[in-house]
């Protein structure tokens, strides 16, 4: 066998090995899809969408977002260690700047792993953090997700809206806009009366920077203005609760 033939054969073997390695690596995705299928099988539309939209429960919800995937992996490992693989509930504390997991098995009294901090006991908590607001969790799947909450809320309230409704969304959440526009179709969902094109989250946020003559904080004035523009409903938060306000009714009886 000539040296040239031997080199070609060696390259062919390398290509074959690389292809086999890629196929084996991709097999994990089949298990991920299978696990997700089993989790949503037989559930209602709300439950299926809720699971699929949760960054904590569905790998698809984290796809193409490497930074979020890194954060998820850190939280997953820390919580798995603290709960001994889900056997025991671990104490999780949420505070203004992040999350703390109490893990009595950690080697260090306190360790910061952005976006979480792991402490050995509550005696090692930072001074500004109180343990009174803590919860017990066995898995990251018990965390709620803003996307998941928006999906469940939109599906649950779709029946309240007539098919010809013109809805104004007064909430600076790109995820909420995408979900309501999809779930409530053929109803129209706007975040700006000029109906300018929304291409991504940046163009969406820009609409809230430009008030377009609307005071988004004054709901009474906003509703009066939207009525004149032909809108039938307003999605806004009252006392921290997201509500659908029917613009044709009085202010005291229009929340649902």
Nearest to 92, CA basis, from 83, 84, 82, 101: 101
* pTM above threshold 0.85: no
Per-residue pLDDT of the chain (256 residues; tens, 9 = 90+): 567 777 777 778 888 888 888 777 766 667 777 777 777 788 777 777 777 767 666 777 666 667 777 777 888 888 888 888 888 888 888 776 678 888 888 888 888 877 788 888 877 777 767 666 677 888 777 776 677 778 888 888 888 899 889 998 888 788 888 888 888 998 989 888 776 677 777 777 777 776 566 777 778 888 888 888 888 998 988 777 888 888 874 343 333 3
CA distance 151 to 224: 28
CA 216/CA 230 separation, integer angstroms: 17
**Hey, how many other C-beta atoms are within 10 angstroms of the C-beta on 131?**
14
Q: Which contiguous run of DSSP H or E holds residue 238?
A: strand 233-238
pLDDT at 157: 87
**Average pLDDT over the chain, rounded to an integer:** 78
Nearest alpha-carbon partner for 143 in 15, 217, 50, 54: 54
pLDDT digits (tens, 9 = 90+) for 94-147: 776 678 888 888 888 888 877 788 888 877 777 767 666 677 888 777 776 677
pLDDT of the residue at 245:
86
Domain spans of the chain, in order of start: 3-41, 65-142, 146-246
pLDDT of residue 253: 33
Task: Return the exposure string of 153-180: e unless at least 16 CB atoms fall within 10 Å of the residue's CB, then b.
Answer: bbbebeeebeeebbbbbbbebbbbbbbb
Q: What confidence score (pLDDT) does residue 132 get?
A: 64
CA 129, 131, 134, 137 torsion-angle sign: positive
pLDDT value, residue 193:
77
pLDDT digits (tens, 9 = 90+) for 189-210: 988 877 667 777 777 777 777 6
């Amino acid at each position: 066998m000539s040296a040239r033939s031997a080199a070609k054969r060696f390259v062919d073997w390398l290509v074959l090995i690389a292809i086999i390695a890629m196929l084996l690596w991709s097999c994990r995705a089949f298990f991920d899809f299978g696990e997700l299928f089993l989790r949503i099988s037989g559930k209602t539309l709300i439950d299926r969408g809720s699971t699929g939209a949760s960054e904590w429960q569905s790998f698809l919800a984290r796809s193409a977002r490497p930074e979020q995937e890194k954060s998820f992996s850190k939280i997953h490992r820390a919580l798995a260690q603290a709960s001994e693989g889900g056997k025991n509930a671990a104490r999780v504390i949420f505070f203004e700047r992040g999350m703390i997991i109490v893990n009595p098995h950690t080697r260090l009294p306190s360790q910061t792993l952005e976006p979480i901090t792991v402490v050995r006991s509550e005696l090692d908590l930072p001074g500004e953090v109180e343990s009174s607001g803590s919860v017990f969790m066995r898995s990251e799947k018990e965390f709620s997700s803003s996307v998941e909450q928006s999906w469940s809320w939109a599906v649950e309230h779709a029946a309240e809206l007539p098919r010809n409704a013109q809805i104004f969304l007064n909430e600076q959440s790109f995820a909420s806009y995408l979900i309501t526009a999809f779930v409530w179709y053929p109803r129209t969902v706007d975040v700006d009366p000029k109906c300018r094109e929304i291409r991504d989250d940046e163009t969406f946020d820009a609409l809230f920077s430009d008030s377009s003559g609307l005071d988004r904080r004054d709901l009474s004035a906003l509703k009066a203005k939207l009525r004149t523009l032909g809108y039938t409903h307003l999605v806004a938060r009252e006392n921290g609760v997201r509500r659908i306000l029917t613009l044709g009714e009085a202010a005291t009886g229009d929340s649902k």
